Amino acid sequence: MFDNLLTNLDLTWPELVGVTTLMFGFAAYAMGQAVANKWQSPIYCCWYSLLLGIFDRFIIYALFDGVLLSWKAYLADTIIILVISVLAHRLTLVQKMIRQYPWLYRRAFIFSWKNK
């Protein structure tokens, strides 16, 4: 089932897991943290994820002889990168709020804080 889906998206398992999720997932996590550390909106994660998706497609093309100009594969890669970066942004933002304002906020859940 998943192999058929990956074939329709012009992807393979090593590309999806190795390059997109691990290599560019770490880059997306670092990017989400950097955006949150500058107190910027998560919208910036969207713009930077579009750029990381382009670089991801190029690395897959260069190393694995993958399809360079596949909009379906680009969209799938970019969505994975975007989800990782937005989660990293939210985790970092919650951590900053709790650490910088301990007299005001406490952790309510992994992705949220509430007033004391």
CA distance 7 to 12: 7
pLDDT in tens, 38-76: 999 999 999 999 999 999 999 988 888 878 888 888 998
Q: How many domains does the chain have?
A: 1
Residue 1 counted as domain residue: no
Residue 116: band (very low, low, confident or very high) from pLDDT cuts 50, 70, 90: confident
Residue 21 counted as domain residue: yes
Residue 78 counted as domain residue: yes
Q: What is the pLDDT of residue 1?
A: 55
SS (H, E, C) 13-77: HHHHHHHHHHHHHHHHHHHHHHHHHCCCCCHHHHHHHHHHHHHHHHHHHHHHCCCCCCHHHHHHH
Host domain of residue 22 = 16-115
Residue 8 counted as domain residue: no
Residue 3 counted as domain residue: no
